[in-house]
Amino acid sequence: MRQIAFLTVVLLMSTAGVFAQLDEEIYLLPDSPENTEPDSLPAEEIEIPIEDETPLIPNDPTAVLEVFFQALRTGDTLMISELISSDGLDDIDIMLEILQENLDDATLSRLSTAGYTATADEIDDWSPMDYLTSTIVLPVMKARYSIYEMQIGDFSDRGNELAIPLVFSTATGLELPYEAILRKEDNQWKVTSFMGLNSFP
């Protein structure tokens, strides 16, 4: 009888030890250092391609003038550089040559007052496009166009060159007529003559 009782006690203790081990495994906390199994697999990194932000260049004569005018109002150098014709740059080059030949203290002071930040050496190295893009971003230049609304008149197709009547009007009723000139270069309509492009600050 004593042997049977002893065996019974040993069996009960062994069973209790097994259940205790099972409980420890079941209730093992996720943060326990013994729990090395990751909760979930890391998400894969997905690269999102960046879309080309190159602006759409208009090619309808009316749209070209409207976009060009808006670019002058906002100082959009990219759009202006895309829509100015080579003949238009030639006209600006004439003004630039005169400027570069007269870079005295009085001229530099006038340019500084207008908002230009370039030095005499930098201006001396300017191209016509540099002169144009450095000018249209000036607050005084944007303000010159911001007071106007532009109406486009009727025009007829004359091959690779168009003369388009414009009327610039202010809220006070002032109206300024102007004839813009567009020329086609490489199948793209570009601006050769536009109000204010022959009169930089």
**Tell me: the pLDDT tens digits for 3-58?**
444 444 444 444 445 444 544 444 444 454 455 555 555 555 555 545 456 678 99
The pLDDT value given to residue 109? 97
Residue 172 domain flag: yes
Q: For position 46, what pLDDT does the model report?
A: 54
User: Is position 174 within any domain?
Assistant: yes
- Cα Rg of the chain, angstroms: 38
Map residue 72 onto helix, strand or coil: helix
Q: Residue 10's pLDDT is what?
A: 43
Global model pTM greater than 0.85: no
Q: Residue 58 and residue 190: Cα distance in Å, rounded?
A: 10
d(CA 2, CA 117): 108
Q: Give residue 91's domain range.
A: 61-193
**Gap between the Cα atoms of 147 and 165, Å rounded:** 19
Q: Kindly state whether residues 102 and 23 are assigned to the same domain.
A: no
Q: From residue 28, how far is each of 20, 23, 24, 39 by CA, in Å?
A: 12, 8, 6, 13
- Segments of the chain scoring below 50 in pLDDT: 1-16, 18-20, 22-30, 32-33, 49, 51
